A and B are shown apart, each in its own frame.
Chain A
Amino acid sequence: MYVRHLQVTDFRSWELADLPLHPGPTVLLGRNGQGKTNLVEALGYAATLSSHRVASDAPLIRRGAQRAVVRTAIVQDGREVTVELEITSGKANRALLNRGAVPRTRDVAGILRTVLFAPEDLALVRGDPGERRSFLDGLLALRAPRFAGIRSDYERVLKQRSALLKTARAAKSNLSTLEVWDGHLAAQGAALLAGRIELSAALAPHVAAAYAGVAPESVPIDIRYRSSLGEQVPESTDVTELEQALLEGIARVRDQELERGVSLIGPHRDDLELLLGEGPAKGYASHGESWSFALALRLGAYELLRGEGSEPVLILDDVFAELDRRRRGKLAEVATAAEQVIVTAAVGEDVPAELDGDRFHVSNGMVTADASA
C-alpha cells in the first residue's frame, strides 16, 4: 500500500500542509524544528489513531486552533480510499471514510498501515517493560485487528479486579466475586498471551536479521517473551492451556495479591526480553547498540508484515544521521525495496543517494518540492 496524498490543517505547527506522494522513497528535508516529524506523526496518527510522541491528543492541535484535520488518500491493490480524521480538543474525534461518517472513529484504524521508526523508540530498549508490551500489542493489532479489542477488554477486567483486591484488603469482604474476575482475567489474558507468544516467535528471526544488517560487527541479538508465569508457561500457545496456567498462577499468588492489593499474574506483568549476545541489552548496550536494537525491532516488524503479504508504509524519522556510512548503505537497501518509504533528515548529505525519489524541503511552514531531484 502507499499514501498518495497527505493533507493536514492545524496539526502541530502546520496551518496547512499538502503533500502529493508516490510509491518509492520520499525524503523530507529541513532544519531542526521546521515540522518534518510533525508531518510523519500525522501519517502515524492516521494509521493508529495515536501519536508516537504524546499520549494525549491536545498537543496535536495547532496552538490557538480548535481542531486539527488529517486527510490521507491511500492506495491498496489499485483501489483508493480516503481517511479523514478530525481531532477536536475536549471532544470526541470524528472520522470520515471516503467522505462518509463512520459510527466509531476506531473503525478507520488500520486502514492505513505504517511502521514508524523515530528517535523516541530508544525507549523500547531503555524504557520500562510497558514500552515493549505496547510495541507487541500494536503489532498484534496490525496483524489481526481483534487484538485491539482483546487488549482493551483485558485492561478493563484488570482494572476491575485490582479495584476489588484493594477494597477486599480494606474490608475483608466481597471476595465472593473474586473468582469470577479471576476467570475473566485468565480468559482475556490467555488470548492476549497466546497472541504475544506467537508474535514474539515469528518476529525474532526478522529482528535478528535486521540487526545483523544495520550492525554487522556487533554480537548477535535475540528477543524472548517473558511471562509473569515464569517457568510455568506452557510450551504451546493453546489458549485453553494458557488460561488454565494463568488460573493456577493466580491461585498460587492469592495471598500475596490480597496483601498487596494488586494483580500479580497476567500479561500486564510480562516483558519482551532483549538479548545482546548472552546477556540483557537493557543496562548493558551502548548508545549505538541500543539505537540499532530499537531500529531492528521496527525493521523486523516491517519485514514480518511484509512477509505476510500486507506491506505497510515504512517511515524513518531522523535515522540516517545516527548511522555511519556502511550502515546507511545497509538501511538504504531495505528502504529502497519498500513499496513506499518516507524519510526525514535535517541534512541532505545524510541520506544515501540510493534513496532517490521525491524530495521536499520543509521550512517556515512551507513544503516545497525539490527542483534538483
Chain B
Amino acid sequence: MYEGPVQDLIDELGALPGVGPKSAQRIAFHLLATDAADINRLITALQQVAKGVRFCEICGNVAADTTCRICGDARRDPLLVCVVEEPKDVLAIERTREFKGRYHVLGGALDPLSGVGPDQLRIKELLGRIGRDEITEVIIATDPNTEGEATATYLVRMLRDFPGLSVTRLASGLPMGGDLEFADELTLGRAFTGRRAV
C-alpha cells in the first residue's frame, strides 16, 4: 500500500477493465513522471467524456458533433446500412475497407441475463431510419455468438415486412462464440464479401 493520493490513483486505475494491480501501479508511476502539459491533456479528455459523450443522432456511433463523420460523408452509400452492436465494431469493419455504406449501432445485443431486451437497443431508431431514408439493403453484423445470433434473428423478423428491402447476414468464417472486434481484417473482410441473404 502506498500513501494517500498515489494509492487512490492506483485503486482507480485498477478498477478499469483489463488493468490488473501490477499494471495499475506501472501506469500510476508513469503518470507521476509525466509532464504537467501531458497530464492536463489527459484531464481535459476525461472531463469531456464525463460531461457526456455525444452519439450520432442518425447511427448511434460516438461522434464529435450531432452526427458522426461517416453519416456526414456524402461519398458513403446512404441506401446501404450495416447494423453492429458497438462503436468498436464500426472501427473493426472500417479497417477492412470493404464497406462503403453507413452504420447503425444498436448499443448491445439481446441479453436477458443482463436485462437487455429490444427496448434497450436502438432497434426502433433502425426501423424509423429504414422507413424514412429509402434504405435498400441492411447487413446484420452482430457478433457471431449466442446473443449476437439471437439479435440477428430478431432483426430479420422485424425487417422482413419492409417491401423491397434486402437483408443479409455476415458470412460465416467468423469463429463462433467470438467477438467481431477480435476477428482479423482478412476474415472480417471475407465475411463481408460473402454475406448471405437471410
Contact = CB atoms under 8 A, between A and B. Distances in A.
A180 B153 contact: yes
A205 B150 CA distance: 40
A176 B119 CA distance: 10
Contacts of A176: 117-118
B110 interface: yes
A157 B113 CA distance: 10
Contact of A160 (B111, B157, B176): B111
Interface string A238-279: 000000000000000000000000000000000000000000
A102 B62 CA distance: 35
A180 B177 contact: no
Interface in B151-181: 153-154, 157, 176-177
Contacts of B154: 177, 180
Contacts of B147: 160
Contacts of B85: none
A191 to B, nearest CB: 12
A167 interface: yes
A65 interface: no
A174 B113 CA distance: 13
A183 interface: yes
A159 B113 contact: yes
Contacts of A180: 110, 150, 153-154, 157
Contacts of B153: 180, 183-184
Most chain A C-beta atoms within 10 Å of own C-beta, residue among B119, B150, B153: B150
9 contacts: A157-B150, A159-B113, A160-B146, A160-B150, A163-B112, A164-B112, A177-B110, A181-B112, A184-B146
A225 to B, nearest CB: 25
Nearest to A179: B157
Interface of B: 110-113, 115, 117-119, 145-147, 149-150, 153-154, 157, 176-177
A149 B147 CA distance: 15
Interface residues of A, number: 20
A350 interface: no
Interface string A68-108: 00000000000000000000000000000000000000000
A176 B117 CA distance: 9
A243 to B, nearest CB: 14
Given A153-B176, A153-B177, A184 B150 contact: yes
Nearest to A160: B112
Nearest to B110: A177
Interface of A: 149, 152-153, 156-157, 159-161, 163-164, 167, 173-174, 176-177, 179-181, 183-184
A174 B146 contact: no
Contacts of A152: 177
Nearest to A188: B146
Given A164-B112, A167-B112, A153 B150 contact: no
A13 to B, nearest CB: 31
Contacts of A164: 112
Contact of B115 (A149, A153, A167): A167
B112 A157 contact: no
Contacts of A159: 113
B112 A156 contact: no
Contacts of A153: 146, 176-177
Contacts of A163: 112-113
Give me the 9 closest cross-chain CB pairs, A-B, nearest first. A164-B112, A163-B112, A156-B146, A163-B113, A174-B117, A180-B154, A180-B153, A160-B112, A180-B150
A18 B154 CA distance: 55
Contacts of B177: 149, 152-153
Contacts of A173: 117
Most chain B C-beta atoms within 10 Å of own C-beta, residue among A149, A174, A180: A180
Contact of B146 (A157, A167, A177, A179): A157
B117 A177 contact: yes
A149 B113 contact: no
Contacts of B145: 156
A160 B113 contact: yes
B133 to A, nearest CB: 24
Given A184-B149, A184-B150, 12 more contacts: A149-B177, A152-B177, A157-B146, A160-B110, A160-B111, A167-B112, A167-B115, A174-B119, A176-B117, A177-B110, A177-B150, A181-B112
A229 B145 CA distance: 27
A303 to B, nearest CB: 32
Contact of B150 (A167, A174, A181): A181
Contacts of A177: 110, 112, 117-118, 150, 154
A160 B147 CA distance: 8
Nearest to A149: B176
B89 to A, nearest CB: 20
Nearest to B157: A180
A73 to B, nearest CB: 29
